[in-house]
Amino acid sequence: MDGSQGDMFEAAPLAPSPLSPESVRRFLADNPEFLREDDGLLAELGLKVAAGNVVDFGPAALARVHAAHQREAEQRRELEEVARANFAAQAQIHGAVVDLLDARNPSDLARRVDELARSRFGLAAGVIALETDGLPPAGWVRLVEGQVDMILDGPQRLARMGFAPTALGLFGEAKDEVRSMAMVRMAIWEPSRTGLLAFGSADPVGFTEDMGSELVAFLARVVERTAERWPLL
């Protein structure tokens, strides 16, 4: 067999297998001098050998610690901002409750709802609506039977946040300003009459669908209890 034929039967060179983190770790553990004695590699990695042959993670370690500190500081600032916003909102709600409880009659209650919406919360309007065949209390918005279900998009829904075109009529002269709403179902008097507490914002993202409705629902419960002082005749 000549040399050319022998070459045909020579084994093809094997492709190098990719290094795994575990194999690199094992190699460095078995050959610590490989890293300690390679100044160029140490420099590229941002490392240096300190006294006693201990690898000092100087610049690299400081950079990681600084980055971690920055992340923690940013998270702390975000938590503090959320806490301050929640505290401010609760303080405004408490003040609003006091204002509502001071109402002298249903008309004054409706006026106070609109006033606190504008002055306390910077909104376009606040209204109380009631489903009734007759006339609602002065200052309240009259709704026909089933209209609350339509506005809230279903009889099972207790609240709705965001923009609902079917609710624009609630806000009367302010409807052209309203770009988002917060609305909560109410049940007033015995037997129960269906009502709605609604706030309108001029900001399209003032109220959004992913927002919680707890604080608005709390105000709705206050309006319910306050209105029950004056039975509907």
Q: What is the pLDDT of residues 106-130, one digit of tens each?
A: 999 999 999 999 998 999 999 999 9
Architecture per CATH, domain 104-227, reads as 2-Layer Sandwich (3.30)
Q: How far apart are CA 228 and CA 62, in angstroms?
A: 65
Each residue's pLDDT tens digit, 141-156: 999 999 999 999 999 8
Q: Where are the domains of the chain?
A: 104-227
H helix count then E strand count, the chain: 8, 7
- Of 227, 183, 220, nearest to 201 by C-alpha is 183
Share of the chain above pLDDT 90, in %: 51
Looking at residue 104, the DSSP 8-state letter turns out to be: -
Q: Is the Cα dihedral 130, 136, 139, 145 positive or negative?
A: positive
Inform me whether the pLDDT recorded for 205 exceeds 80: yes
Return the pLDDT at 61: 60
pLDDT tier for residue 14 given thresholds of 50, 70 and 90:
low
